[in-house]
Amino acid sequence: MSKFYITTPIYYVNDKPHLGHAYTTVAADVLARYHRMIGDKVFFLTGTDEHGLKIRKSAEKAGKTPQEWCDENSAKFELVWDSLNISYDNFIRTTNPSHIEVVKRAIKELVEKNLIYRGKYEGLYCVDCEQYYSPKELINGLCPIHRKKPVKLVEDCYFFKLSAFQKILLKLIDDKGLIIEPEERKNEVLGFLKSEKLEDIAITRERVRWGIPFPENESQTIYVWIEALLNYLTGIGWQGDPKELPEFWPPDIQLMAKDILRFHAVVWPAMLLALEIPLPKKIFAHGFFTFAGQKMSKSLGNIIDPVEIANLFSSDGLRYLLLASVPFGQDGDISRGKFYDRYNSDLANGLGNLVSRVLKLAKNKKITVYRDKNFQEKVKVIWSNYQKALEELAFEKAISEIQSFISFVNQFIDEKEPWKLTKTDINEFNNVIYTLLESLRHLAWLIYPFMPETSNKIFSALGIDKDEKTKEFTEAKKFGEVKFEKISQCSPLFPRL
């Protein structure tokens, strides 16, 4: 049994959960469920990022304490993830006292290693980003994200010697000691590391009063990004001793969008190298999507609530549509219209229709085991392509394997015309229906990571209980071993919209 540790970013608690957050979280959930399905020991971490000036300001505006504000907003994320069946193993919040304590220990460790020093920082600071920008990064003198004029600040602060890690990071990324995917994103990081001198990074803030106090000087707080990154360690129970790492460390996949890749591919590994902690195995930065051609943003007022979309298409429907719509890793556009089309074609007419067709044919029939050679070969190929796709995080390819299997089974029904066979060839009828039921069982497995509720409905219609489901995956992948004893009907899985 291998272990599999997967993380999403921890999302800013100041924002409401939106479809962008759901995208990463659903993708991570599909991988977590897939790895559980193949028998791996999985830990799936997500959570909320809860410090910083912006949060304090929003709380003030709402007449709440920052902690109350964080509690309320963080709970919204948990609720949304529950309604999307996100099977996380821990939901880390950076205001957890345990996170705070361990972060302080880690920072002390870096101070002792002389990798943190005191200095003065002067720069152009965007309050909304809580980030300094170099003049080069500004667009017409404005913050590239918020299009606001940054303020000039000078502050006492502590620096982390990021510059010391430039060479080793370059080498690690080049030699695949740290895998960054997709290739295009890796090249971006390499390009940056080759062309620019890494500057030491200011890791404390004087002005930010809602943060973790810097252990050496409590008039300063730790820069939110620095402590937020450490969630990946504190979230699995790290106590702050680099020599005693949790069982699940290092992460097998750290998932995020390209907007925060640099923090994860440069600052984060440098911090780990500094602490002498092994690096994550893979950092994967997927693309950004627009909704109906527009960037989702608070200022445009077009933030899409994932629950609203799940109410239209069901939670499983949304999970499927999110990952079917855009090749993972690339940018793309999604919209309600595209979702309706895909829902109707793939889920209502495709999967849903096939399941109800087969269950009706099998109603009240006693069916004995039969091994169809063609199908045995077909599912072998499907599983192999499907698994390869998921190992590569090519969700859309795994989905197209599922769709191709659905077409294959539909074609088989059309050829065999089983409704006629009851009168002409009862043996052949049995074999055809067995093959169809067995195909549904395979489909239930194939869709499980993507659509767990629907998968469970199919399993229960087939009379397969959960215990049998969890038996060895290699057994489950065989075609023609399972007996079907009590077939029941299920209500339409995906009503046509």
Residues 221-250 interacting with ligand ME8 (rule: CB under 6 A): 228-229, 231
Segment 306-311 long-range contacts (CB within 8 Å, at least 24 positions apart): 306/17, 306/18, 306/19, 306/21, 306/22, 306/80, 306/84, 307/80, 307/83, 309/19, 309/336, 309/339, 310/83, 310/84
Q: For the chain, percent helix, then strand, then coil, each to nearest 5?
A: 50, 15, 35
Decide: is 277 part of the binding site for ligand ME8 (CB under 6 A): no
Q: Which of 29, 49, 50, 401 binds ligand ME8 (CB under 6 A)?
A: 49
Per CB under 6 A, 91 contacts ligand ME8: no
Residue 289 binds ligand ME8 (CB under 6 A): yes
Residue of closest CB approach to ligand ME8 = 20
Radius of gyration of the chain (CA): 26
* CB nearer ligand ME8, residue 86 or residue 482: 86
Per annotation, catalytic residue among 76, 108, 146, 457: 146
d(CA 307, CA 78): 12
How far apart (Å, rounded) are the C-alpha atoms in residues 226 and 214?
Answer: 11
Active site residue 157: no
Please identify which residue in 11, 44, 158, 375 interacts with ligand ME8, judged by CB under 6 A.
Answer: 11
298 catalytic per annotation: yes
Whose Cβ is closer to ligand ME8: residue 227's or residue 372's? 227
**Can you tell me which residue has the tokens 């890494």?**
198
Known catalytic residue at 70: no
Identify whether the C-beta of residue 463 lies closer than 8 Å to the C-beta of residue 487: yes
Provide the token pair at 75.
Answer: 């709970």
- Assess whether 129 carries a catalytic annotation: yes
490 is catalytic: no
Q: How far is 282 from 253, CA to CA, in rounded Å?
A: 5
Q: Is 12 in the site for ligand ME8 (CB under 6 A)?
A: yes
Q: How many residues bind ligand ME8 (CB under 6 A)?
A: 20
Residue 9 makes contact with ligand ME8 by CB under 6 A: yes
Smallest distance from the beta carbon of 285 to ligand ME8, in angstroms?
A: 8
Say whether 295 is catalytic: yes
Decide if 304 contacts 8 (C-beta within 8 A). no
Cα–chain-centroid distance for residue 459?
A: 25
Min CB(12)–ligand ME8 separation in Å: 4
Compute the least distance from the CB of residue 422 to ligand ME8, in Å. Answer: 51
- Give the separation between CA 433 and CA 370, rounded to whole angstroms: 9
Closer by beta carbon to ligand ME8, 31 or else 440: 31
Q: From start to end of 261-369, where are the E strands? A: 282-286, 289-291, 332-334
> Catalytic site residue 416?
no
What is the four-CA torsion angle of 272, 276, 280, 286, rounded to 10 degrees?
A: 20
Instruction: Please report how close the Cβ of residue 435 comes to ligand ME8 at its closest, in angstroms.
Output: 40
Return the structure tokens found at 188: 């971006």
Shortest Å distance, C-beta 489 to ligand ME8: 39
7 vs 435, beta carbon nearer ligand ME8 = 7
Nearest distance, CB of residue 436 and ligand ME8, angstroms: 38
What's the rounded Cα separation, in Å, for the pair 29 and 37? 12
Binding flag, residue 257, ligand ME8 (CB under 6 A):
yes
φ/ψ bin of 21: left (φ > 0), alpha (ψ from -120 to 50), beta (otherwise): alpha
Rounded Cα distance between 399 and 319, Å, is 12
Among 5, 6, 21, 412, binds ligand ME8 (CB under 6 A): 21
Beta bridge partner(s), residue 282: 179
21 is catalytic: yes
Considering the complex, what minimum distance in angstroms separates the CB of residue 401 from ligand ME8?
A: 24
- From residue 372 to residue 411, the character string flagging contacts with ligand ME8 as x (rule: CB under 6 A) and all else as - is ----------------------------------------
Q: Which residues carry out catalysis?
A: 18, 21, 126, 129, 143, 146, 295, 298
**Interacting residues toward ligand ME8 by CB under 6 A:** 9-12, 15, 20-21, 23-24, 49, 228-229, 231, 256-257, 259-260, 288-289, 296
